[in-house]
Amino acid sequence: MGDPLAQLLQGTWIDPDSGQSTGVAISAIAIQKSLRGHEADCVAALGFGPRLAVVSDAITHEVLGARVEDALRSLARIESVRLPRGVHADMESVAAVRNATASADALIAVGSGTINDLTKFAAAKDGKPFAVFATAPSMNGYTSANAAITVGGHKKTLPATLASGVFIDLEVLARAPARMIRAGLGDSLCRATAQVDWLLSHHLLGTGYREAPFALLAQDESALFEAPERLLSGDPEALRALARTLVLSGIGMTICGGSYPASQGEHLISHYIDMRAPAGRAEYLHGEQVAVATLTMARIQEAMLEGPAPVLRATSVVEQDLRQHFGDQAGSACWNDYAPKRLDAAGAVRLSQRAASVWPAFRSRANAMHASSSRLESVMRRAGGPRNAADIGVGAAFYAGAVRHARFLRDRFTFLDVADDAGMLTGRFLA
Ligand SMILES: [Zn+2]
């Protein structure tokens, strides 16, 4: 079968949807037990030019940034860009990064979520190439061509530069904070729920669907889920499975030209929490929220897949309801996204008939790809990760509201829509 990651880099991976050989426009991905002493070779192979800016924050500079800068001095003139601790991925920070890297030919990020997002977005704005040295296995954005940037108080997913090189030193990852490692596991947990949601939309609405991103992940998922506690004890092979999963998940999104394979109902719930969490709540990582939301989605999917085809009703929600819940501006934006999937009486009859005719075929495909909520829950428990609303710093009532209202945030059609329109988004599914 071979290694899909190596094959993608060579352009010889066979895409199961098309049967054609496929690659990814990333020159190098190195996931090694240690990269110490090899940093300059990694970057030299990318042919970036004589002036490099290395972007880190106070913490990642100490963890790895200083070492990378020292190593790259044999190669290029280095601009050391050190952002303050706790920097946010917002437009102000983007401006600061662009300003500080103005004379550089290419940008090298040393960090994880925020530093990676800022650097690849700044690189895109200035049309420069970019590479990243990872400091934590906390999210799947190292190999995706978009960035989560806060614009005017709202987190947006914006086009960014795809990394030319992704360099992962497992000894460095082993020293990452436990919460960041658990967050990466959490962001990986949703493979099954996202796949089932995406397939639901395909069967009910006839939207596109691809097997390719999930085929990429199949080899590593069992290793990752079988011994999640090993991630926290620094086992390099466990960390390798997580790093590969995150890298391949990002490539799956890149191949599909969108986040569909890695972001469905569970990410909508997390997005709602980002938008509306009560002021004063401590900061939680994306993957921590996704872990909890994935368990919710898995329970909803399980219950509905066990039952008969759902009978859907017309939606009573109107724009004013969303403006009332989200505020005028955000409520109108939600309405624009939600309106295309809103069911009137005739639409509800049509979709119910469609569900009745496709349900047996959909169910058998979905059951084959589904991971049980109890299995996913045990993976997070064994890793010591978050499993319920309290674990991510929100109350039960807020979380129930997040599950009920998340579907209004995007036009993406998921089990949250079907469950709500079938009158099943109640009680035990909201916890
Ligand atoms: Zn995610």
SS3 track for 86-132: CCCCEHHHHHHHHHHCCCCCEEEEEECHHHHHHHHHHHHHHCCCEEE
Quick one: pLDDT at residue 229?
96
- Å from CA of 262 to ligand 1 middle: 6
- Å from CA of 190 to ligand 1 middle: 8
- Å from CA of 288 to ligand 1 middle: 10
- 162-194, pLDDT tens digit by residue? 999 999 999 999 999 999 999 999 999 999 999
DSSP state of 61: I
Which residues does the chain have with pLDDT short of 50?
none
- Å from CA of 139 to ligand 1 middle: 6
> Under the phi-then-psi rule, with left for phi > 0, alpha for psi from -120 to 50, and beta for the rest, what region is 80?
beta
- Strand 51-57: give its sheet, edge to edge: 28-32, 165-169, 130-134, 106-111, 51-57, 77-83
- Å from CA of 188 to ligand 1 middle: 8
- Å from CA of 41 to ligand 1 middle: 31
Quick one: pLDDT at residue 1?
67
Helix or strand or coil: residue 153? coil
Q: Report the C-alpha gap between 77 and 255 in whole angstroms.
A: 34
Quick one: pLDDT at residue 332?
93
Helix or strand or coil: residue 68? helix
In order, the DSSP letters of 216-279 are HHHHHHHHHHH-THHHHTT-HHHHHHHHHHHHHHHHHHHHHTSSGGG-SHHHHHHHHHHHHPPT
Quick one: pLDDT at residue 151?
87
- Å from CA of 263 to ligand 1 middle: 6
- 261-273, pLDDT tens digit by residue? 999 999 999 999 9
Give strand pairing partners of 131. 108, 165
- Å from CA of 143 to ligand 1 middle: 12
- Å from CA of 344 to ligand 1 middle: 32
Task: Report yes or no: 108 and 72 within 8 Å, Cβ to Cβ.
Answer: yes
- Å from CA of 270 to ligand 1 middle: 9
- Å from CA of 103 to ligand 1 middle: 33
Q: Report the C-alpha gap between 251 and 260 in whole angstroms.
A: 12
C-alpha pair distances (Å), 138 with each of 168, 174, 178, 227: 12, 12, 10, 17
C-alpha pair distances (Å), 396 with each of 30, 187, 275, 393, 399: 42, 22, 17, 10, 5
Helix or strand or coil: residue 314? coil
- Å from CA of 236 to ligand 1 middle: 23
- Å from CA of 287 to ligand 1 middle: 6
Count other Cβ atoms within 10 Å, centred on residue 368.
Answer: 7
